[in-house]
Structure 1
Amino acid sequence: DLMERDDAVAVVREADAGHGWRLDELLEAPVGRRDVPHLLAPVDLQVIKAAGVTFAGSLLERVIEERTGGDPAQAARVRERVTKAVGGTLDGIRPGSPEADRARELLVAEGLWSQYLEVGIGPDPEVFTKAPVLSAVGVGADIGVLGASVWNNPEPEVVLVVDSRGRVRGATLGNDVNLRDIEGRSALLLGRAKDNNASCAIGPFIRLLDEDFDLDTVRGLDIGLRIDGTDGYVLHGNSTMRGISRDVLDLVAATHGPHHQYPDGFVLFTGTLFAPTEDRQAPGTGFTHEYGDVVRISSPRLGALVNTVVPSEQAAPWTFGVRALTRNLARRGVL
């Protein structure tokens, strides 16, 4: 209910809450340990939505996935061809604009049109349901990659927190884990590629919009990424909201409005510029996760979201759904 209140910021600032745990102890708990007090994802009944292909840089990687049919061994060859053919054609193009229409005509003539280009520069963005209500994991939890996937990567994103009236009330960080081989086989496998056990991480906290942190602040956020493998492998990456192709309010409007309501509000992953291409396991195959990778997504205004990669099949099963929440609240006398 906090996100529905017009005075949410004042309520938080003036709240006289008890202190059950020390924050530093919660944040210092070993990554992956769920048998000690830990932070949950900072959302509950909000629907978890995501916008895809919102950055021109990562858009080309989606086209490459499609052209390879999800085969990482072909990635380097296809990347060279697609980059040469498309290259700077998409730079600075506003989706749905006359310039975008002309780019579309050019790419169709070259035989390079793609369903990803359609949602990347066409009038309508890709918006999908990332995960079920209450299924997201928080900071310090294991994050799941489907065991069948051999080509995958993290997706560090800004996540908008939106109330039932479609107003952006805050922002946080998220990892929209991407299984490139599975989605590359067919976009119709998006659910298989995106919605798996523990495959959605959100946190560490929600930063409410106020006089010092507004939508323009969100539009300028920089996001850092660091991956540490168990073998000493380290990868640094980054994304910036300044490179997004569609304004965040346009993404919200595509999600919520007369065409679709969310009585409990929703959160919206806004996409990422990050699309790693560095070889890790074999020449020409690009990056993919290995189990045990520690993924740290951070932004100075939003904190850090840290998770450890495990097979989705071995992550802690999701058991706390809406029925469990209702029983929990009733048992505590809250209802």
Structure 2
Amino acid sequence: MLPADIERALLVGRVWRDGAGPAVVVVRRGEVFDITSHASTVSALLERADLQLVVAQAPGESLGNVRDLVKNTIGGLRLLAPCDLQAIKACGVTFAVSLLERVIEERAKGDPARADHLRGEIQSHIGADLSTIRPGSEEAMRLKDDLIARGLWSQYMEVGIGPDAEVFTKSQPMSAVGHGDAVGLHPDSKWNNPEPEIVLAVNSTGVVLGATLGNDVNLRDIEGRSALLLGKAKDNNASCAIGPFIRLFDEHFTIDTIRNAEVSLLIEGVDDGFELAGTSRMREISRDPLDLATQACGPHHQYPDGFMLFLGTMFSPTKDRDAPGAGFTHHLGDRVSISTPALGTLVNEVQRSDQIAPWTFGLRALFENLAARGLWKGVR
């Protein structure tokens, strides 16, 4: 559940402490320390000029061994998503495979039974390896003209190989669930999947400070009916998981680590014994992670509390589950594990969004809680 080199990793997170509320924590030598008295929110912590010094040395109350925390065996504590005030943004169709699957969803109009036939038809018509095409390049524009002429152009092609990335709001600040929590599916969805992704942690000045793992829970049938249903397809109770910790960049962990990472996905069905495994290779991403962060934030758009940015996934599961040609969809109770050696593993169980406890602890509740504890200090 933890980075392979945890002894040298700079890890920041959040926990819920029974009887108190949310706490900002760091991990040192396998031990978890509450440093909320030094930074009342993770957003505020990531604004500090002395960020790495605080994470490495600031005094704090020991909460126990981090391995016990991720296994949820420490009484009165549970992991939260490692972000709080930050906006939660996401990039779509940043890999060739996910681009094709989005086009398939669009043409299938939300019907999974048509996907298998459409997959072969579209791949035969495109006649190009989209993973080798640089978005916005002359080659990409020539392909666009050719696809338009053949009636195969799509809004997903536009953001997949055009100059502008798709950047959308995945979820609201404070709404993401953490490692060990349930993730939610909208009850209307019958065709859905996890999206294992790396998530960048970016401060208010647009500086990328670290990364973590995320599950951008995806409802293929709802978005496939209409791209204008993206909000319903993406933003529901517990439809966004982030964690277990944000790992800060240092000499051992850099943006190049992200560029070369492999993100593994394992889905385990508890009701049918189904198992599906796959890997996303970040070197196959069509846009550089720093370019995506720049497209999200700059003179055109500011995030005064910082933001978390999902980078997209190449993994759209297509393995048949319930019937031949029907492809993959979740069953309730599925266990989803997303992992990469430098960041550890994010594990969540799949349930329905309307059957999971509703989200009630938002920004107002956080400020009231911190004020009552004498911990609201803002940004120094």
Q: Give the Cα–Cα distance (whole angstroms) in 1 for the partners of residues 115 and 324 of structure 2.
A: 10
> How do 1:235-250 and structure 2 match up within 5 A?
235-250=276-291
Q: CA deviation at 1:15?
A: 2.4
The aligned counterpart of 1:233 is 274
Query: Which piece of structure 1 moves more, 82-91 or 143-152?
Result: 82-91
Query: How many residues are matched?
Result: 332
SS state of the match for residue 80, structure 2? coil
Q: Deviations over 1:10-52 (max 9, x none)?
A: 221112221134322221128xxx9952100000100000000
2:182 corresponds to which of 124, 142, 160: 142
Measured in 2, the distance between the counterparts of 1:89 and 1:202 equals 31
Deviations for 1:242-287, whole angstroms, at most 9, x for unmatched residues? 1100011111111101110000000000000101111101111100
State the Cα deviation string for residues 200-250 of structure 1 (Å, max 9, x = none): 000000000111111111111110110110121111011111110001111
Change over 3 Å in CA distance of 1:35–1:312 after alignment to 2? farther
1:301 match: 342
One-letter code aligned to 1:247: D
Matches within 5 A, 1:87-236: 87-230=127-270, 231-236=272-277
> Does the CA contact (< 8 Å) of 1:89 and 1:103 recur in 2?
no
Counterpart of 1:10? 53
- Determine helix, strand or coil for the equivalent of 1:320: coil
Could you tell me which residue of structure 1 aligns to residue 27 of structure 2?
none
Q: Equivalents in 1 of 2:298, 2:71: separation in Å?
A: 41
- Please identify which structure carries the higher helix content: 1
Matched, 1:281 2:339: no
SS in 1 for 2:266: strand
Gaps of 5+ in 1: none
Aligned residue for 1:316, secondary structure, equals coil
In structure 1, the partner of 2:364 is: 323
| Letter of the 1:223 counterpart | V
Q: CA deviation at 1:89?
A: 4.2
Q: What do residues 108-127 of structure 1 show as CA deviations (whole Å, max 9, x unaligned)?
A: 11110000000000111100
Match of 1:71 in 2: 111
Distance (Å, rounded) in 1 between the aligned partners of 2:241 and 2:127: 32
* Structure 2 residue runs without a partner (length 5+): 1-43
Aligned twin of 1:333 = 374
Distance 2:215 2:112 in 1: 21
Q: TM-score, normalised by structure 2?
A: 0.85
SS of equivalent residue, structure 1 residue 144: strand
What SS does the aligned partner of 2:198 have? strand
Q: Which of the two has greater strand per residue?
A: 2
Q: Aligned partners of 1:21 and 1:182: how far apart in 2?
A: 43
Separation of aligned partners in 2, 1:60 and 1:87: 12
Of stretches 83-92 and 283-292 in structure 1, the one that deviates more from structure 2 is 83-92
Aligned residues of 1:90 and 1:103 also touching (Cα < 8 A) = no
- Secondary structure at 1:193's aligned position in 2? helix
- 1:24 equivalent in structure 2: 67
SS at 2:128's partner residue? helix
Q: Is the 8 A contact 1:53 1:271 kept in 2?
A: yes
Partner of 2:81: 41
Measured in 1, the distance between the counterparts of 2:342 and 2:131 equals: 28
Contact 1:29 1:36 in 2 (8 A): no
For the pair 1:256 / 2:297, whether they are aligned, the reply is yes
Match of 2:21 in 1: none
